[in-house]
Amino acid sequence: MTLSQVQLQVMWTRLISVVEEQAQALVRTAFSTSVREAGDLSAGVYDAQGRMLAQAVTGTPGHVNAMADAVPHFIRDIGATTMRDGDVYLTNDPWKGTGHLHDITVVTPTFHNGTLVGFFGCTAHVVDIGGRGFGADGNSIFEEGLQIPIMRFANAGSVDQTLIRLIRANVREADQLIGDLYALATCNEIGQRRLIQMLSEFALPDLGAVSDFILTQSRDATLARMAALPQGSATGKMQIDGYAAPVDLCVTVSFNGDHVLCDWTGTSGLDPKGINVPLVYTKAYACYALKCAIAPDIPNNAASLEPFRITAPADTIVNAVHPAPVALRHVIGHLVPDTIFAALDQLLPGVVPAEGAGCLCNFQLSLRPGVGAPAGAQRAEVLTFNSGGAGARPTLDGLSATAFPSGVMTMPVEATEHAGPVIIWRKELRPDSGGAGQFRGGLGQLMEVGAREGYAADFSAMFDRVDHPARGRHGGADGAPTTVALNDGTQMRGKGRQPVPQGARVMLAFPGGAGHGDPAKRDPGAVARDLALGYITATTARDIYGLSQSDVDAILKPAL
């Protein structure tokens, strides 16, 4: 059967719809709040060779771009000739999955009329995987939790109950994790059903013709964009907090006609603690940054990613090898795009934003019954995702409390409090946290959190931008830094597990994005609006943006 270009395009669009339904099924059935509320997941469909054809809109670049490389590992380790209808495979191997043990990747082979035609893959972040718990404190991968090699979760439809018992025996939140595994397997099954329906509808024996069309069109479109780029190279650098010592990120971006190369030579070596990044995760966010600047409208798949080449010396912090601790690989990985943007701003002026908060402002509370605990009180692990501000764009303000580059959602207060004995006393935008500029950086957030009465807690901090706030671009001001302290004023570290005395609260100020352009050039109407909405204070409006005292008084008068 010869397919027309229109039919092939319809099927390509259908596949994107299928994987989005796959992702939404995972959101609706997952047990972990990180999946249900924050969307920390990915979903994709692959051809029989393990090449990613389409990804869901819902999900994170770190997951989906890393998962693009995962399915070939499954094919090699399981063996295509041993695969059967009803099989489900899984792993949390950081170097064959998405970079740390807290992500479970599940892959399901799809058969049509007895022939292997492709795979569905999905990934989700789980709240607990055992070990020290989610945090940067481990000294090697062996301390960070249960390691699950690529293996069968289900064999021809029969779930491996021995594996289930082993997992339950090694994690703190067993019901959540096992529930998530079944949700991951189920969402792949839903994708399978839709794919088989499509193949039957178009009377196709397999995905061969559709795969060739998708990959050829995507590769040609990406190469055309690259050919139009100014050839040359530039180096971007950034210094960030690290764990015990600052980390230097350094990347040289080269436009080379048929490919773009990112070389991370010059970047700091491994950290003794768990903030190191496997190359697969560095590659995921590097490719995302490049696609945002060069080819944002070309669909993400194996062919559109292939011309982006990422290299880094082994045992640098962006190319950690086993058994390096990698639990918080996202803290460094989420700052990869801003480092690349520093280079791209030299090659493609007026395209990239100023630096933003970068990494998510996550924390996890490990709660245990204390003095005055209610009857039947139990331990609990509560993970919450939060965001600082994004950097200002060349012609627009930065987005406030928005996770860039990860794209995950900030968890609602109600969902976090429902997950365990936690109270969030305050959560609001942080005035003056966005860097001043012709275009203002996005605002961070203020947050106040503590355990419920009768509970003690350990607080696992996962922050950056404490000592190295987001830097402004082209005259824009830096964003505000992260601050972490107890309500009695005791300063806390930006990373690591720390005790919170019973009855105390943790006071958090999340970082703002940096500004872009000279603040003196900002539209006075935009300044007035920011002041009226409380995004900036009267002092900032007057001293930085030059608003007169009489104008300040006039703007604020209705609120008095």
Note the pLDDT of residue 557.
Answer: 86
Q: Tell me what the mean pLDDT of segment 357-376 comes to.
A: 92
Host domain of residue 15? 5-219
Note the pLDDT of residue 112.
Answer: 96
CA-to-CA separations, 334 to 328, 339, 365, in angstroms, rounded: 10, 10, 22
Token pair recorded at residue 103: 């992500």
Note the pLDDT of residue 558.
Answer: 67
Residue 71 has pLDDT above 80, yes or no: yes
**Nearest one of 30, 79, 70 to 46, comparing CA atoms:** 70
| Residue 427 located in a structural domain | yes
| Residue 244 located in a structural domain | no
Note the pLDDT of residue 165.
Answer: 98
Q: Is 424 exposed, middle or buried (0-12, 13-18, 19+ CB in 10 A)?
A: middle
User: Count of domains in the chain?
Assistant: 2
Q: Which of 190, 219, 248 is the last residue of a domain?
A: 219
| Residue 331 located in a structural domain | no
**Nearest one of 354, 358, 429 to 395, comparing CA atoms:** 354
Q: Is 311 exposed, middle or buried (0-12, 13-18, 19+ CB in 10 A)?
A: middle
Place of tokens 């692959």: 46
R_g of the chain computed on alpha carbons: 24
| Residue 325 located in a structural domain | no
| Residue 395 located in a structural domain | yes
Q: Tell me what the mean pLDDT of segment 324-334 comes to.
A: 97
Q: pLDDT tens, 488-523?
A: 999 999 999 999 999 999 999 999 999 999 999 999
Q: What is the mean pLDDT of the chain?
A: 96
Q: Which of 219, 254, 286 is the last residue of a domain?
A: 219
Residue 245 has pLDDT above 90, yes or no: yes
171-174 long-range contacts, CB within 8 A, separation 24+? 171/128, 171/129, 171/130, 171/145, 171/146, 172/128, 172/130, 172/133, 172/379, 172/381, 173/126, 173/127, 173/128, 173/381
Note the pLDDT of residue 1.
Answer: 65
Q: pLDDT tens, 517-552?
A: 999 999 999 999 999 999 999 999 999 999 999 999
Q: Tell me what the mean pLDDT of segment 432-456 comes to.
A: 97
| Residue 265 located in a structural domain | no
Q: Does one domain contain both 47 and 194?
A: yes
| Residue 123 located in a structural domain | yes
| Residue 285 located in a structural domain | no
Q: pLDDT tens, 126-145?
A: 999 999 999 999 999 999 99
Residue 314 has pLDDT above 90, yes or no: yes
Residue 560 has pLDDT above 50, yes or no: no
Please provide the DSSP assignment of 408-476 as one string: PPPPPHHHHHHHSSEEEEEEEE-TT-SPPSSBPPPP-EEEEEEEPTTEEEEEEEE---SSSPPPPBTTP
This prediction has a pTM of 0.96
CA–CA separation, 473 and 485 (whole Å): 30
Q: Which of 219, 250, 266 is the last residue of a domain?
A: 219
CA–CA separation, 55 and 130 (whole Å): 30
